[in-house]
Structure 1
């Protein structure tokens, strides 16, 4: 790999990591469109790289969260990971037999679906309060895992409200717990892509390094900004990317 290419990937990693740190979401929403539209990768390659990057970024965040007042609940992390992480292989299998346009369409529709909850923010409830049956959380976890493997998005935006409403976790503890689940999901899904022929693994390290640095910078930039402005701004970004992806998927 040429020095110029390495630097370009490093910059992509920093920018993607900054956006992720800025709004507190996994990198898939950022990295997949960046690699497809700016770096010229096909969407399957971008999804595979995104899942690998997610492993490292979520590991960093999980370690940081362990020293906070709201660390991951490891009992729920391990139980929920048993539903979500293996299910990511369903998405890997679908991506290997489906046309790229199908993956692009699913990714675009997912972004549109997540834009509103991203803008609205996470629900806040007292610890132990449950609004939906626990089994529905695990059933939804299978679907989330399959989507993660298919489009390279960790699913934290969906998992957090599910954990709050169905597992009785506070929003902050749900964020920490979902991040740990995303780590295991990315590990399984990323390995699935590597074992089924992902051949750009040598180009992932600069993206990983850049994303870790960028996430730190994003948090620093986020602190002085109003939370609602950040959430609504990123939701608008998601809608724009979704429309661009859907238009591309249908050849417009």
Structure 2
């Protein structure tokens, strides 16, 4: 039980220090720390990720930066597909599922490393090309997203994909939601992060209910792991303000890459459970 508290605290700290990533590392921590399979670890990770994301979403709503209509659409689709991911996870062999998780973690590490790099020096000097507007743009008059068919389509697709991966791997889906909102909308970074947290909270709730219905959730372990993550998140938010964001992202990227290699080695080992 003490180890589950320690592992949960690591997840919360990573969430606070990097703004992401804690969810995608929660499953590997449980796999290697408590010797669980991905199928066993995913529901426990969902509770920790969901509780932390819910707290972040509430803070975002308080600050008025959550795009609640977009979050409702994305989250609604995610809630529908998360139970499908949970069901698939229970029927897939452990080794392929572990390999899939390793690839997702490796991709996340690469993206985090890219985000930590300063903009190319020559980019500012190059002539500014006209930027094509994304499908979802904020109306300058009222500050709200303009709802069009293309905008609704990309948001709905994002929700369906993130929900499926949430249930399948127990990762929250933020690594899908944040890049999608960044690419397809002109929202600022704070709104994107807060809206993503709101969606993650909804998707993980659906995944948790599905996992409970399948009888695959260790309640005591999940509660201790999740409580530690929430407490550590609150503490980490204070520490995060004093540390360079780029350095934190690079440290997370390196750790994630190493863990991805370990997960891939586990998937390729025929003796692994």
Q: Answer whether TM exceeds 0.5 for this pair.
A: yes
What count of residue pairs does the alignment treat as equivalent?
241
- How far the C-alpha of 1:37 sits from its partner, in A, is 0.2
Query: Equivalent of 1:171, from 180, 186, 189?
Result: 189
Which stretches in structure 2 are left out of the alignment for 5+ residues?
A: 117-132, 137-149
Contact 1:131 1:165 in 2 (8 A): no
Question: C-alpha distance in 2, partners of 1:121/1:141?
Answer: 23
Contact 1:72 1:180 in 2 (8 A): yes
- How far the C-alpha of 1:168 sits from its partner, in A, is 3.1
Alignment of structure 1 residues 2-81 onto 2, 5 Å: 5=1, 7-25=2-20, 27-68=22-63, 71-81=65-75
Deviates more, 1:183-192 or 1:218-227: 218-227
- How far the C-alpha of 1:26 sits from its partner, in A, is 5.3
Contact 1:27 1:50 in 2 (8 A): no
Alignment root-mean-square deviation, CA: 2.0
Question: C-alpha distance in 2, partners of 1:242/1:137?
Answer: 29
Contact 1:48 1:198 in 2 (8 A): yes
TM-score calculated relative to the size of structure 2: 0.82
Contact 2:43 2:217 in 1 (8 A): no
Contact 2:73 2:155 in 1 (8 A): no
Residue by residue over 1:127-161, the C-alpha shift from the partner in whole angstroms, topping out at 9 and shown as x without a partner, is: xx526852234224322211111111112132122
Contact 1:29 1:153 in 2 (8 A): yes
Deviates more, 1:49-58 or 1:19-28: 19-28
TM-score calculated relative to the size of structure 1: 0.89
- How far the C-alpha of 1:199 sits from its partner, in A, is 4.3
Question: C-alpha distance in 1, partners of 2:55/2:14?
Answer: 16
- How far the C-alpha of 1:58 sits from its partner, in A, is 1.0
Deviates more, 1:113-122 or 1:24-33: 113-122
Contact 1:90 1:149 in 2 (8 A): yes
Contact 2:38 2:97 in 1 (8 A): yes
Query: Equivalent of 2:179, from 144, 151, 161?
Result: 161
Evaluate the alpha carbon distance shift between residue 26 and residue 88 of structure 1 in structure 2; reply closer, same or farther with a 3 A threshold.
farther
Question: C-alpha distance in 2, partners of 1:112/1:131?
Answer: 29
Question: C-alpha distance in 1, partners of 2:58/2:89?
Answer: 31
4+ runs of 1 displaced by more than 6 Å?
none
Which stretches in structure 1 are left out of the alignment for 5+ residues?
A: 123-128
Pairing 1:232–2:236 present: no
Query: Equivalent of 1:120, from 103, 114, 117?
Result: 114
Contact 1:20 1:30 in 2 (8 A): no
